[in-house]
């Protein structure tokens, strides 16, 4: 409490203002800045995430309500990052995200949709349905995504329903497919809203099996995408769908330069995969790995067997001795099923998938061997679940470069 003594003077008003200003500065110290809010509003991905994780861990049980309160933050980046932090912290109650449902920022809508899908928060379905026709496009780090696609993926993960209405307009028709898909999802929810989420997953398994066994390519593709998005509860069906045997897929690398390429040139080539069976074969394909090196000569013939009684050199192990074990190959990183979403192609019988690849330049003239291979993401779900003799999706080609 600060009081101003009454002073008789011609400058009383000016004096009173000065004294009150001084009192305000001493009686009401400036409020300390919120360090978490500053981190949430920071756009530096590299330094922000770990700092936020540390502060969220320190909050313990108060993490979810604390982050939820940032729904009123004026900076949309802070609101978006608060939702992402809640998702990562395991906040799985509808109340944690409800205050963000009115947010108009496209980035916040995307973060909320992903969180609802990841944690399968059934009460969030109406929010997702309300954004199924939201065609705003987000661009970040060279990638673009439409909110309607993000919302649809979240619904598939949450419900395990492979909804893809027959006859839906192609994606190129503005708003056509979104309207058809939104109508199908709303009809499904009106019929199943009162069912427990466990029933949604159970019915989804049945519907997915029927779609994979049927002949509709759009229904099959929707089922495969849904399997990848749902993940662990249906990963057995995904592994079953991706099974194939040796000899069913043929890979080829084709390069057709008009003349022998120079060492400084890049040669345009095509890596192709052909389905040689009478059934559809789904593949989860990553990027193309390319190795290019000098062509090696055929290995020299093995030396003749030494005559009997000849002394064995000390550096050769005696007959029957155990040979040193070859170094084990590095373990293949296991992928989460969701990483396969968007990578799956469903090859029809006889269909050929083609992807461009460039070969070159090279350091010197000569013959080179190019080996191009698709990353087979399906096998990284559970490597032991596939046949041991299954060949890689790769092809080899010899090229001669001139100076």
| pLDDT, tens only, 276-290 | 999 999 999 999 999
**pLDDT beyond 50 at 79:** yes
Q: How far apart are CA 239 and CA 337, in angstroms?
A: 10
Q: Over the stretch 55-64, which tens digit does the pLDDT of each residue have?
A: 899 999 999 9
Q: Which long-range contacts (CB under 8 A, 24 or more apart) does 140-148 make?
A: 145/110, 147/106, 147/109, 147/110, 147/113, 148/178, 148/181
**pLDDT beyond 50 at 19:** no
**pLDDT beyond 70 at 123:** yes
pTM: 0.80
**pLDDT beyond 70 at 29:** no
**pLDDT beyond 70 at 252:** yes
What are the structural domains, with CATH classification, of the chain? 36-192 (1.25.10), 249-296+335-401 (2.60.40.10)
Given this model, what pLDDT does residue 22 score? Answer: 44
Q: Over the stretch 201-228, which tens digit does the pLDDT of each residue have?
A: 999 999 999 999 988 999 999 999 999 9
Q: What percentage of the chain reaches a pLDDT higher than 70?
A: 79
Q: How far apart are CA 335 and CA 5, in angstroms?
A: 75
Q: How far apart are CA 383 and CA 262, in angstroms?
A: 41
Q: Over the stretch 257-275, which tens digit does the pLDDT of each residue have?
A: 888 899 999 999 999 999 9
- Confidence label for 299 from pLDDT (cuts 50, 70 and 90): low
Beta bridge partners of 70: none
Give the contacts of 266 (CB within 8 A, at least 6 positions apart): 358, 359, 360, 361
Give mean pLDDT, residues 279-308.
81
- Confidence label for 372 from pLDDT (cuts 50, 70 and 90): very high
Given this model, what pLDDT does residue 48 score? Answer: 76
Given this model, what pLDDT does residue 165 score? Answer: 81
Greater confidence (371 vs 18) lies with: 371
Q: What is the dihedral of CA 108, 114, 119, 124, to 10 degrees?
A: 60
Given this model, what pLDDT does residue 306 score? Answer: 56
Given this model, what pLDDT does residue 41 score? Answer: 82
- What is the number of other CB atoms lying within 10 angstroms of the CB of residue 107? 19
- Confidence label for 236 from pLDDT (cuts 50, 70 and 90): very high
- What is the number of other CB atoms lying within 10 angstroms of the CB of residue 216? 12
Greater confidence (130 vs 257) lies with: 130
Mean pLDDT across the chain: 85
Given this model, what pLDDT does residue 143 score? Answer: 84
Given this model, what pLDDT does residue 215 score? Answer: 80
Q: How far apart are CA 203 and CA 9, in angstroms?
A: 87
**pLDDT beyond 90 at 185:** yes
Give mean pLDDT, residues 3-32.
41
**pLDDT beyond 90 at 315:** no
Cβ atoms of 352 and 281 within 8 Å: the answer is no
Given this model, what pLDDT does residue 168 score? Answer: 55
Q: Over the stretch 87-122, which tens digit does the pLDDT of each residue have?
A: 999 999 999 999 999 999 999 999 999 999 999 999
């Amino acid at each position: 409490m600060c009081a101003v003594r009454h002073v008789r003077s011609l400058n009383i008003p000016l004096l009173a203002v000065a004294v009150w200003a001084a009192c305000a500065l001493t009686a009401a110290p400036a409020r300390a800045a919120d360090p978490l809010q500053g981190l949430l509003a920071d756009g530096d991905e590299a330094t922000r995430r770990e700092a936020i994780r540390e502060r969220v861990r320190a909050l313990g049980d108060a993490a979810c309500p604390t982050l939820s309160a940032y729904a009123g933050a004026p900076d949309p980046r802070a609101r978006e990052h608060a939702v992402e932090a809640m998702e990562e912290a395991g906040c799985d109650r509808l109340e944690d995200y409800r205050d963000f449902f009115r947010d108009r920022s496209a980035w916040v809508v995307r973060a909320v949709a992903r969180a609802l899908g990841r944690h399968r928060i059934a009460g969030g379905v109406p929010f997702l349905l309300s954004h199924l026709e939201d065609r705003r496009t987000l661009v970040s780090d060279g990638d673009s995504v439409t909110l309607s696609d993000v919302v649809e993926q979240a619904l598939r993960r949450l419900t395990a329903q492979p909804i893809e209405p027959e006859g839906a307009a192609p994606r190129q028709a503005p708003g056509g497919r979104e309207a058809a898909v939104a109508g199908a999802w709303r009809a499904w929810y009106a019929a199943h809203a009162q069912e427990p989420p466990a029933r949604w997953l159970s019915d989804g398994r049945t519907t997915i099996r029927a779609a994979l066994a049927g002949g509709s390519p759009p229904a099959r593709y929707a089922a495969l995408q849904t399997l990848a998005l749902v993940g662990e509860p249906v990963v057995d069906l995904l592994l079953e769908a991706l099974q194939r045997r040796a000899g069913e897929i043929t890979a080829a690398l084709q390069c057709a330069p008009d003349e022998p390429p120079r060492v400084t040139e890049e040669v345009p080539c095509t890596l192709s995969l052909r389905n040689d069976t009478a059934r559809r074969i789904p593949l989860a394909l990553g990027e193309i790995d390319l190795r290019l090196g000098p062509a090696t000569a055929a290995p020299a013939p093995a030396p003749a067997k030494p005559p009997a009684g000849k002394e064995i050199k000390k550096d050769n192990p005696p007959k029957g001795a155990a040979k040193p074990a070859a170094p084990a190959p590095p373990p293949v990183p296991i992928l989460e099923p969701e990483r396969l979403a968007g990578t799956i192609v469903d090859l029809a019988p006889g269909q050929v998938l083609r992807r461009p690849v460039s070969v070159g330049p090279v350091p010197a003239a000569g013959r080179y061997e190019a080996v191009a291979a698709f990353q087979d993401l399906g096998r990284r779900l559970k490597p032991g679940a596939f046949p041991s003799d299954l060949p890689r999706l790769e092809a080899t080609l010899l090229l001669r470069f001139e100076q």
